[in-house]
Amino acid sequence: MTVRRIAYQGEPGANSHIVCQQHHPDAEAVACASFEDVFAAVTGGDADLAMIPIDNSIAGRVADIHHFLPTSGLHIVGEHFLRIQFMVMGVPGTTLDTVRTVHSHVHALGQCRKIIQQHAWTPLVSGDTAGAAREIAEARDVSQAAIAPPLAAQIYGLEILARDVEDEDHNTTRFVELSREPAVPAAGAGPVVTTFIFNVRNLPAALYKALGGFATNGVNMTKLESYMVGGEFTATQFLAEVDGHPDDPHVARALEELTFFTTETRVLGVYPADPFRAESA
């Protein structure tokens, strides 16, 4: 598949932008204000792919995405893991001692508490890490700094005052690529991940029974998350991921057993497993 344009949420210099550059350096990265805009860009044909964060090793799941995915009509065709690196940056002339307020996304501020407390800075929430860098560049005030990815400093002409200021060095975000058409690798061609959703029947122990087929067939389930749908307070929809291809006999048997206890089962994507999975294991 030729990728000419790839959409991401955030401003230029965001972590999503970095992942786009790393894996599709020849494609035009298209910044979008919201996740809805990213999905619309792909479904409407304005972009070939979407690059979406789905999980973070510290903050957990990106909740909005789990609501958009099932109804988007898009398919997961790849995954990438990015080690998150945050830098303190300011306009030329800024030093750590001149800074009084530090701006960033609420999650970034929460993941960089140590340096903020060390310098007694006042944290101020911005809508996006890269957007915070842009705001600092526009303000031209040495009492203000941003916590953002390194690409943002390059784009907005800021100086890096401190590197790798995140509290945890295992801070990693998983991104998925979404496409209008599926791109299913052949069975046996290498490690793959299968992502699917299902709704359990309203029966006693339905979830227990639905998952039993994966255990008895030796299928490794790496993700299982529930969330509300349709305004209901009963968690009936689940998003799950397993190691393996739907055409692998043991995975096929498990998915078949799943249908006995669910009202809907739908595969969202079958795609190559990122090498990071094996490395982290």
List residues with catalytic annotation: 173, 175
Lookup: tokens for 32: 């979008």
Cα distance between residue 254 and residue 6, in whole Å = 34
Non-local CB neighbours of 35 within 8 Å, separated by 6+ positions = 9, 52, 64, 65, 68
Q: What are phi and psi of 243, to 5 degrees?
A: -80, 125
DSSP per-residue codes, 130-153: HHHHHHHHHH--TTEEEEE-HHHH
Q: Which residues pair with 83 in a beta bridge?
A: 172
Cα distance between residue 146 and residue 149, in whole Å = 10
Q: What is the dihedral of CA 83, 5, 147, 64, to 10 degrees?
A: -80
> Do 274 and 238 touch, CB atoms closer than 8 A?
no
Q: Which residues pair with 266 in a beta bridge?
A: 197
- The SS3 assignment for 18 reads helix
- The SS3 assignment for 25 reads coil
> Do 165 and 109 touch, CB atoms closer than 8 A?
no
